[in-house]
Amino acid sequence: MNIIQDLFGKSPFGPLVEHTKKVHECVEMLRPLMEALVNEEYDEIRKIQDKISRLEYEADTIKHDVREHLPRRYFMPVERVELERFISSQDKIADKAEDFAVILTLRKTKLHPDIMDKFFEFLEQIFQVTGTLLGAAVELKNLAEVSFSGAEAKHVLDILQGLNEEEWKADRLARSLSRDIYRLEDQVDPITIIFYEKMLLTLGAIANEAENAGDMLRTMIVK
């Protein structure tokens, strides 16, 4: 047995980056999912939901592996509990992406033409939020090498500042889309209105969880 490795443990930051990437794969599947909804391809929605479920499972597998092997003696520049919180925040992003996919399988809902463009605009903004988080989180290995300080840390903090702005834009779009949904009350049945709102809230939760994960990363840097 490698005595040095046994004493200090293995760095968890590489696997953490892999977890980040796998979570983002879950989110990327939302675009074809929405396209299938618009085209009323309900069998395709179920197939995509299965793919997202598989990706979420793979993300969970990485998460469990990271947690099980998170070294208790490894000399890390951040606290173990901070890494745990970051993993949990990212995990919720994948969970919400899967939740959205499951929601679309519950009924054969038609997306009203008046809100199609706004829904896709909102979805693209969600991608801006999660993509910004990905850009920051993939720097974890580099951050660890410089003890979460210096120019590398400042660069990631700048990225995270942009994440907050993108999430704010997502919130604004969500409020606008919500108003558009309720303007359809005279055109669609109440259950469909509720369903649209459920879709909106679940997508919005993805952006919120991404912002939370960014806040956890920021905490690791500024402490």
DSSP string, the chain: --HHHHHH---SHHHHHHHHHHHHHHHHTHHHHHHHHHTT-HHHHHHHHHHHHHHHHHHHHHHHHHHHH--SSS--SS-HHHHHHHHHHHHHHHHHHHHHHHHHHSS-PPPPHHHHHHHHHHHHHHHHHHHHHHHHHTTHHHHHHTTT-HHHHHHHHHHHHHHHHHHHHHHHHHHHHHHHHHTTTTTS-HHHHHHHHHHHHHHHHHHHHHHHHHHHHHHHHH-
What's the pLDDT at 138?
Answer: 86
What's the pLDDT at 76?
Answer: 64
What's the pLDDT at 99?
Answer: 97
What's the pLDDT at 70?
Answer: 72
What's the pLDDT at 2?
Answer: 41
pLDDT along the chain (223 residues), means of 10: 44 84 95 97 97 96 84 64 89 96 95 96 95 88 80 89 93 97 95 96 96 91 81
In CATH terms, the fold of domain 8-222 is: Methane Monooxygenase Hydroxylase; Chain G, domain 1 (1.20.58)
What's the pLDDT at 75?
Answer: 56
What's the pLDDT at 143?
Answer: 83
